[in-house]
Amino acid sequence: MNHRTMHTSLRRLGIGLGALTATATLALAGLAGSANASPQHHSGYHFRTMNDKADVTFNQLLGINNHGVIAGYFGSGAQGHPNKGYQLWTPSSYRNENYPHSVQTQVTGLNDNGVTVGFWSTMNTASMSNNNFGFYAAGGRFHNVNFPTGDNASPQVDQLLGVNDHEVAVGFYTNGQGSNRGYEYNIRTHRFTRILVPGAPAGVAGPSLTATAINNDGDVAGFYNKTSAQVDGFLLRDGQFITLAVPGATMTQAFGANDKGEVVGAYTTGSGSNAQTHGFVWRSGHGFTTVDDPHGIGATTINGVNDSGALVGFYTDSAGNTDGMLALP
């Protein structure tokens, strides 16, 4: 299981990532905007490496709330090295959180009211092609969440990746044709809503789309296949679908959003052995700012941001380890 097919960054337990119909399907209409000015580099953050001592070789920090509590996991997902979820409450207080009787779990997001979301698996195979099932947890109780469809991938892939204080979660499932289908799930009403690219067909022919984050205004961030060769991020705000694409990048993926208008994620330049991944912060009217951990320049992903501008994510260090990262403005 490993984090986000979303490049090697979409959390997939094991990537590397009766037939019911949804109660509601919504084509998110509105003007399609774009935000793709060249990124500026920024070093005005204080960086801390945060690794659970249970496994200092592989940690990913995926979300941070306004109380400073962080969601994440350790373990690469390779066979015999399963993902194990946790919440990080202080720099040294890691609290295990794993779906009951699961083989692997990732805690991918959390709100300010004690609700966490993520996904789990019954498998830990050598191929890392494992089943994934979404969940939310509240008050110490876990609840399984999977989009109601008769067109699942095999093995099934369904993940919840973010949740706001109104208890609306976002995530995706993978269909039988291998495309991701983004959705919202209202924990209070148990209602599912599809998230679609405006003007795109809702069925098999629509572009692959992954919803990764939702803020308290209901703005949704994520990424989608703009073409067969181009993956761009997006922000859905007030009915407007804003494309987030770093100029020259082969891939731009948005993973987090706060209530202050900031979106975070990662972009990739180059390919093959020359590929580099950089974290970014995007602000409306200001565009992209590149943020790399100084120990992982060109190998950094930003996954979450809170309203104070604190960032969490991960980087690959010179020894090849994946290290959890906290960056404070």
Closest CA to 254 of 197, 211, 289, 218: 211
Smallest CA-to-CA distance from 197 within 230, 223, 158 is with 223
Per-residue confidence (pLDDT) for residue 27, from 0 to 100: 33
Distance of CA 79 to the CA centre of its chain: 23
Q: Which residue has the higher pLDDT, 44 or 251?
A: 251
Q: Say how many C-beta atoms besides its own lie within 10 A of residue 30's C-beta.
A: 13
Structural domain count of the chain: 1
- pLDDT tens-place string over residues 104-150: 999 999 999 999 999 999 999 999 999 999 999 999 999 999 999 99
Which positions ≥6 away from 12 have C-beta within 8 Å? 1, 2, 3, 4, 5, 130, 132, 157, 159
Paired tokens of 83: 């993902």
Its sign, for the CA torsion 42, 256, 250, 275, is positive
3-state secondary structure of 9: helix
Q: Which whole number is the average pLDDT over 315-320?
A: 98
C-alpha torsion angle, residues 67, 213, 71, 119 (rounded to 10): 150
Predicted local confidence at residue 4, as pLDDT: 45
Domain span holding position 232: 2-328
CATH code: domain of residue 80: 2.120.10.30
Token pair listed for 230: 């181009």
Q: Would you state the structure tokens that stand for residue 193, as one six-digit string?
A: 């809503």
Give the mean model confidence (pLDDT) for residues 239-268.
97
pLDDT value at residue 40: 64
The whole-model pTM stands at 0.90
